[in-house]
A and B are shown apart, each in its own frame.
Chain A
Amino acid sequence: MTTIDAPPARVQRARGKRRSHLLTASDKATLGVMAGVPTLIQFVFIWAPMVLSIILSFMRWNGLRLSDIKATGLTNYQFIVQDYPPFWPAVAHNIIWLLFLACVATPLGLLLAVLLDQRIRGSRIYQSIFFVPVMLSLPLIGIIWQLMYARNEGFINNIAGIANTPAAIDWFGNPSINLWAALVAATWRHAGYIMVLYLAGLKGVDPSLREAAAVDGASASQTFFRVVFPAMKPINIVVVVITVIEALRAFDIVYIINGGKNGLELIGALVVQNLVGEGQVIGIGSALAVMLLIVSLVPITIYLSRVFGRED
């Protein structure tokens, strides 16, 4: 590799025409493959599906022949907003989901990280325990929470002594409760994820900052909120973006509880209900997916511009 041997300053100057002369034919071929394959994969699995989804969201199609595709303009969107009863509850639930993660789950993860950063005994064990939910597979999560929440056999109702009585709380079936039950399950997983991110962040904070704060006579909470927390700004941005994205794509836990019905409607679940299986309505499912995509673009754009914007 000729470019590697060259001193950095020369490479900088060698931009443009002259740079290409430094590459042999096989270098070009290698670079072409290395750039081309990911681009192709990206195109086939990300861009093409996305563009097709957007196109299909303006169409009406039974999924059979391509000639059956009919343009309908904004009909699918109009249907979703006006006539599709689960849509607005789903929007509300996604917002509740976001608020709950932002106000409860994420701060809880931060709290766990701060506590575990104090070199308490068994810190590693606690870390592992809190991180386990992040690693568990979805069916297992479903079974665990089924064991917790089941009406007559579940742990919670039995501890409360109301199992097998008419007063037993129907955690999954009661539409005014089941969203909160699902949110507790989501928090259980989300907090562990955030905790790991902040643990890494806390380790990265320069210890001299804390020492300086201590010398200046700052209390522990002042040190944390005024010095350490602002110093973790890069992590904070990542955490905010992750929280928003987790709230938008929330789907798996409600899907495993009851498929995203009866009080657990979320946009992500509605997309799947409309696109997969026999209940398939391609146009409406695609329109829901496009709506979700547009909303998701906001935090993603902010994140990317933050991460890459500064470097240029």
Chain B
Amino acid sequence: MTDRLQATGFFPSQLSRRSMFALTGGVTLAGLAACTGTTATAPAASGSASAVSGQTITFGSGASDDVPKRAYQAVFDAYTKKTTNTVKVNTVPHNDFQNNINSYLQGSPDMAFTWFAGYRMRYYAAKGLASPMDDAWATVGANFSDGLAKASTGDDGKKYLMPMYNYPWGFFFRKSVWAAKGYTAPTTFDDLKTLCTKMKADGLIPIAFADKDGWPAMGTFDYLDMRLNGYQFHMDLCAHKQSWDQQKVKDVFDNWKALLPFQDPNSLGATWQEAATTLGTGKAGMYLLGSFVTQQFTDPAVLADIDFFPFPAMAMEGQDAVEAPIDGIMLSSKAAGNAGAMDLMKFLGTATAEDAYYSIDSSNLPVVKGADLSKLTVLNKKCADTIAGAKSISQFFDRDALPAMASNVMIPALQTFLKDGTVDTANLEAQAKSLYASQ
């Protein structure tokens, strides 16, 4: 996926590896799959359900950055304190983990692994590369909101994900700038446009925007689609159960066109970090992005001045749906019937595990009910409340849709739209048809 970590600048090791890949191309991939292709679905352990002690549970982690890595370690320390089971963690660099997930899951995966909700979760579940964890959900399911439960469910109705944390997308703004000009947070799309007009007259860039890397614009698309056509339509469109070549999709872009004059016109050359700077310096009025935008405000005074409002209501479902990508843990096919792995999942769904994680990594939001929220900043509390109150949670386009659809089709299409305000929905449909067919 087009990950926000990947998009932050030049990654020397990443590049050289990619150029290497370019030379050997699809062929290396073919080779990998050829080696691993036949071992796909053999369940490894025959579960003796009573023996939940003294087991070793293997855990594949893509959380290679220092803070999340230590946070997961804190969780496992808390777990091993409670049981005689041990957790063996196998950490792989973030981007490698994600890029090689296909061969990883087919080869010799660990029992549990870090992943996220969305299309890819349901896809691997449907392909038999993941194991359901309904047993764990039966125990700890009450700790999660309906939106989280829905987002953790596969196509067959079983649960495949144990959520760890998430973060919302919404409009971020500086309280002091708004107080000085007397702006108030809009709750409808018309209010938003009125506010933008006012801001423009006041000499501000109403909406900070950046799309050099291609993915940030997807957030605007997701919200417009969910607010106009509803959550379910958006999900179906992402999964290509709905055609792209229809009026509902055209409406999304038509409404977006009304916002284009208010977005930073230089978005195609800017990264989200640069756009965040325009918000931080008070040049821009607001910025629709994930709450990770706050990472960019290193000045505590500015950080304390940041506030948040959810995307305004349009035609359907008010502000019920929230875009809040969820990261969590899945079980591989190897964990099928393994009582130890299931026991770990039960633990991960408790407030104890959540508190252990959050004690180290406070940049994301806890998702378990009963987790200690006293350490949350005022802004994070607000974000967490917004998610808790959401009836449905979307995952961001590149997680909800086929990754190839997101990176190969949507990125060029949205960049073209930002450039000249046109979009060819018939071509989007033609491309979607071809790409989804090859899955």
Binding site for B on A (CB under 8 A): 45, 48-50, 52-53, 56, 60-67, 75, 79, 82-86, 137-139, 142-143, 146, 151, 170-175, 178, 251-252, 255-256, 258-259, 261-262, 268, 271-286, 289
Q: Is the CB of A170 within 8 A of B37?
A: no
Residues of A within 8 A of B98 (CB): 277-278
User: Residue-by-residue, is B423-437 near A (CB-CB < 8 Å gives 1, otherwise 0)?
Assistant: 010010011001101
Cβ of B266 within 8 Å of any chain A Cβ, yes or no, is yes
Q: Is the interface of A mostly helix, strand, loop or mixed?
A: helix
Q: Is the CB of B19 within 8 A of A252?
A: yes
Given contacts A83-B434, A272-B21, contact A56 B12 (CB under 8 A): no
CA distance A277 to B408 in the complex (A): 11
The chain B residue sitting closest to A282, CB to CB, is B26
In the assembled complex, the CB of A252 is this many whole angstroms from the nearest CB of chain B, namely 6
Q: Is the CB of B26 within 8 A of A138?
A: no
Q: Is the CB of B10 within 8 A of A64?
A: no
Q: Is the CB of B415 within 8 A of A65?
A: no
Residues of A within 8 A of B419 (CB): 175, 262
Instruction: Find A172's partner among B22, B38, B269 (CB 8 Å cutoff).
Output: B269
Cβ of B40 within 8 Å of any chain A Cβ, yes or no, is yes
Given contacts A273-B408, A277-B99, contact A170 B266 (CB under 8 A): yes
CA distance A66 to B34 in the complex (A): 7
User: Residue-by-residue, is B3-34 near A (CB-CB < 8 Å gives 1, otherwise 0)?
Assistant: 00000001110011011011011111111011
Residues of A within 8 A of B28 (CB): 49
Cβ of B268 within 8 Å of any chain A Cβ, yes or no, is yes
Residues of A within 8 A of B379 (CB): none
Instruction: Find B40's partner among A64, A173, A282 (CB 8 Å cutoff).
Output: A64
User: Residue-by-residue, is B120-134 near A (CB-CB < 8 Å gives 1, otherwise 0)?
Assistant: 100000010100000
The 4 closest A-B pairs by CB, nearest first: A173-B269, A49-B27, A279-B407, A278-B403
CA distance A6 to B406 in the complex (A): 68
Can you give 25 A-B contacts (C-beta < 8 A)?
A: A45-B24, A49-B24, A49-B28, A52-B27, A56-B27, A66-B33, A66-B38, A85-B416, A138-B15, A142-B10, A170-B266, A174-B268, A178-B269, A261-B411, A262-B268, A262-B415, A272-B22, A276-B18, A276-B22, A278-B99, A278-B101, A278-B120, A279-B403, A285-B25, A286-B26
Cβ of B237 within 8 Å of any chain A Cβ, yes or no, is no
The chain A residue sitting closest to B22, CB to CB, is A272
Cβ of B374 within 8 Å of any chain A Cβ, yes or no, is no
CA distance A123 to B22 in the complex (A): 37
In the assembled complex, the CB of B292 is this many whole angstroms from the nearest CB of chain A, namely 19
Q: Is the CB of B29 within 8 A of A63?
A: yes
CA distance A276 to B38 in the complex (A): 22
Residues of B within 8 A of A85 (CB): 412-413, 416, 424, 427, 431
In the assembled complex, the CB of B280 is this many whole angstroms from the nearest CB of chain A, namely 14
CA distance A52 to B18 in the complex (A): 20
Q: Is the CB of A61 within 8 A of B404?
A: no
Given contacts A66-B33, A278-B1, contact A143 B26 (CB under 8 A): no
User: Residue-by-residue, is B262-285 near A (CB-CB < 8 Å gives 1, otherwise 0)?
Assistant: 000011111000000000000000
In the assembled complex, the CB of B313 is this many whole angstroms from the nearest CB of chain A, namely 32
Q: Is the CB of A282 within 8 A of B16?
A: no
In the assembled complex, the CB of B8 is this many whole angstroms from the nearest CB of chain A, namely 13
Q: Is the CB of B403 within 8 A of A63?
A: no
Interface size in chain B (residues, C-beta < 8 A): 61
In the assembled complex, the CB of B340 is this many whole angstroms from the nearest CB of chain A, namely 27
Our count of residue pairs bridging A and B at CB distance below 8 angstroms stands at: 174
Q: Is the CB of A281 within 8 A of B438?
A: yes
Q: Is the CB of A173 within 8 A of B26?
A: no
Residues of A within 8 A of B99 (CB): 276-278
The chain B residue sitting closest to A51, CB to CB, is B27
Q: Is the CB of A170 within 8 A of B269?
A: yes
Q: Is the CB of B27 within 8 A of A138?
A: no
The chain A residue sitting closest to B411, CB to CB, is A261
In the assembled complex, the CB of B103 is this many whole angstroms from the nearest CB of chain A, namely 8
Near A by CB (< 8 A), chain B positions 127-169 give 127, 129
In the assembled complex, the CB of B214 is this many whole angstroms from the nearest CB of chain A, namely 6
Which of B21, B27, B214, B268: most chain A Cβ within 10 A? B27
Given contacts A53-B26, A255-B18, A277-B99, contact A83 B430 (CB under 8 A): yes
Residues of B within 8 A of A284 (CB): 434
Residues of B within 8 A of A138 (CB): 12, 15-16, 19
In the assembled complex, the CB of A177 is this many whole angstroms from the nearest CB of chain B, namely 10
Q: Is the CB of B214 within 8 A of A255?
A: no
Instruction: Find A49's partner among B25, B33, B270 (CB 8 Å cutoff).
Output: B25
Q: Is the CB of B18 within 8 A of A272?
A: yes
Cβ of B69 within 8 Å of any chain A Cβ, yes or no, is no
Residues of B within 8 A of A272 (CB): 18, 21-22
CA distance A272 to B212 in the complex (A): 18
Cβ of B213 within 8 Å of any chain A Cβ, yes or no, is yes
Residues of B within 8 A of A83 (CB): 427, 430-431, 434
In the assembled complex, the CB of B272 is this many whole angstroms from the nearest CB of chain A, namely 13
Cβ of B86 within 8 Å of any chain A Cβ, yes or no, is no
Residues of A within 8 A of B31 (CB): 49, 52
Q: Is the CB of A62 within 8 A of B27?
A: no
Instruction: Find A261's partner among B38, B404, B412 (CB 8 Å cutoff).
Output: B412
CA distance A275 to B30 in the complex (A): 10
CA distance A48 to B24 in the complex (A): 10
The chain A residue sitting closest to B210, CB to CB, is A173
Q: Is the CB of B439 within 8 A of A62?
A: yes
CA distance A191 to B314 in the complex (A): 56
Residues of A within 8 A of B267 (CB): 173
Residues of A within 8 A of B187 (CB): none
Cβ of B91 within 8 Å of any chain A Cβ, yes or no, is no
Residues of B within 8 A of A274 (CB): 404, 408
Given contacts A52-B26, A278-B1, A279-B403, contact A170 B33 (CB under 8 A): no
Cβ of B229 within 8 Å of any chain A Cβ, yes or no, is no
Q: Is the CB of A65 within 8 A of B268?
A: no
Residues of B within 8 A of A283 (CB): 438
Q: Is the CB of A64 within 8 A of B127?
A: yes
The chain A residue sitting closest to B268, CB to CB, is A173
Residues of A within 8 A of B415 (CB): 261-262
Which of B22, B31, B270, B415: most chain A Cβ within 10 A? B22
Q: Is the CB of A271 within 8 A of B22?
A: yes
CA distance A198 to B426 in the complex (A): 52
Cβ of B392 within 8 Å of any chain A Cβ, yes or no, is no
Which of B16, B19, B269, B437: most chain A Cβ within 10 A? B269
